[in-house]
Amino acid sequence: MQRAADAMIQLLGAGAVAIRLPMETVVTGPALSALNEDLALAPVHIRQLANDSNGRRRLELLVPATPLNGICESQAADDVDTLLATAVGIVYGDELFRVSGVTSDRSAGVPYLYHIEVTQ
């Protein structure tokens, strides 16, 4: 199913975003808040959703499990939900979006496609 999800994203129109994560550091003080790391995430299909009640832009990112699992391994995260919960947000273009929800499609209990909802 994971290969099918990868192919589906390519057919829908693949783009790229970045997951912004706080960097582990020993620096303290005001400089600490500026230390983030952007990790490229692709392929991603980006769908525009209706704006929320406050007029903020919303997107749904369809992401195959393969690239997210690779990022989890490189960051020593237990799973995708934990990784995204610790993220500062998702960078799309020049804008930072916060993660507002994550669901996954599963086959035999194994996620193969993630639906990540983000809000500006």
Q: What is the pLDDT of residues 46-88, one digit of tens each?
A: 999 999 989 999 999 999 999 999 999 999 999 999 999 999 9
Do the domain assignments include residue 57? yes
Does 63 reside within a domain? yes
Residue 23 pLDDT class (50, 70, 90 cuts): confident
HSE at residue 51, side-chain half, CA atoms within 13 A, is 5
Domain that holds residue 98: 2-23+34-119
Distance CA 109, CA 84 (A): 20
- Is residue 29 in some structural domain? no
- 32: pLDDT confidence band, cut at 50, 70 and 90? low
In a domain, 28, yes or no: no
DSSP reduced 3-state for 38: strand
Domain count, the chain: 1
Handedness of CA 111, 113, 119, 120 (dihedral sign): positive
- The arithmetic mean of pLDDT across residues 6-21, rounded, is 82
Q: Is residue 59 part of a domain?
A: yes
Length of the chain: 120
pLDDT score, position 21? 93
Is residue 103 domain-resident? yes
